[in-house]
Amino acid sequence: MNNLMTHLREAATYIQSQLTISAKVGIVLGSGLGNLANLVEIEKEIPYAEIPYFPVSTVKGHGGKLIIGKLKGKSVLVMAGRFHFYEGYTPQQVVFPIRVMKLLGVETLLLSNAAGAVNPDYKVGDLMILKDHISFFTSNPLIGSNEEDLGTRFPDMSEPYCKKLIAEAIKIAKINNIELHEGVYTAVTGPTFETHAEYQLIKFIGSDVVGMSTVQETIAAVHAGMKVFAVSVVTDLGIRHEDNIITHEEVLEAAKAAEPKLSLLFIELIQQL
């Protein structure tokens, strides 16, 4: 067994030793979107720093712990705080926790993120379901020798985001009067926000929002045979006007304001799983 599988199994074994329940649903909460973790009836919280081989989160707005518990009676494993490529982690480190979730029995992964809109019809605070993504502006986490125990060398990406889950989410949003877009997320490395020319390019290539997370996690999850559902919260408008300055504080504030809609959507979707 190579190092990666050994490390993943050690991390999973450690987590399992702390738990009395298991979860089929994993959740990763994005910047400013951590409040869902407060709604979990907690069975156990494990700081990332305690878990063998887990990277440690450094960015403001990220809690850095794994939470297991129940949301409206359904068991969930929640990553409150994720690892970003721009923090200096390798893409393999970024997706390490996703693979650990797989080993722990997670079958469905729900991801959230804050993103900048390049679709002129989008407003700050809107939610967008990812129907697809463009990964070419960041590094693919599957580069390197393939771990056959996880998945195949050349994974299909024709449906990175589960169509059935998207359809369910649209129904839930309608019932609860939540406006939802469906669109394409382009992943960039960050940590700089984009230049005007870059926002224009991202729009031109067919995307609706841009962000610095999610896609590497989706790729690793799909590689390992998990179903993925992901939502962006629009926190800023990349193509608004030339003197549009974007700050991390503005992103966190907008994410926080829109967060209750996202929590409702996730909680209701989990009931269907």
What are the residues binding ligand HPA (CB under 6 A)? 114-116, 188, 190, 193-194, 210-212, 235-236, 238, 246, 251
Nearest distance from residue 172's CB to ligand HPA, in Å? 24
Nearest distance from residue 97's CB to ligand HPA, in Å? 20
Nearest distance from residue 186's CB to ligand HPA, in Å? 9
Q: What is the 3-state secondary structure (H, E, C) of 23-54?
A: CCEEEEECCCCHHHHHHCEEEEEEEHHHCCCC
Comparing CA positions, the residue from 145, 142, 129, 221 lying closest to residue 181 is 129
Q: Which is nearer to ligand HPA, 108 or 213 (CB)?
A: 213
Helical (H) or strand (E) element with 137: strand 127-137
Nearest distance from residue 113's CB to ligand HPA, in Å? 7
For residue 2, the one-letter residue type is N
Q: How buried is residue 146: exposed, middle or buried, by Cβ count under 10 Å (0-12/13-18/19+)?
A: middle
- The percent helix, strand, coil of the chain (3-state, each to 5) is 35, 25, 40
Q: Which is nearer to ligand HPA, 84 or 99 (CB)?
A: 84
Nearest distance from residue 239's CB to ligand HPA, in Å? 10
Q: Which is nearer to ligand HPA, 71 or 212 (CB)?
A: 212
Cα-Cα end-to-end distance for the chain: 33
Nearest distance from residue 38's CB to ligand HPA, in Å? 22
Inter-CA distances, 201 with 119, 186, 205, 208, Å: 12, 11, 6, 11
Q: How buried is residue 101: exposed, middle or buried, by Cβ count under 10 Å (0-12/13-18/19+)?
A: buried
Q: Which is nearer to ligand HPA, 108 or 138 (CB)?
A: 138
Q: What is the DSSP letter of 259?
A: H
Q: How buried is residue 43: exposed, middle or buried, by Cβ count under 10 Å (0-12/13-18/19+)?
A: middle
Q: Which is nearer to ligand HPA, 64 or 211 (CB)?
A: 211
Nearest distance from residue 92's CB to ligand HPA, in Å? 22
Q: Which is nearer to ligand HPA, 219 or 224 (CB)?
A: 219
Q: Which is nearer to ligand HPA, 30 or 63 (CB)?
A: 30
| Residue nearest ligand HPA (C-beta atom) | 116
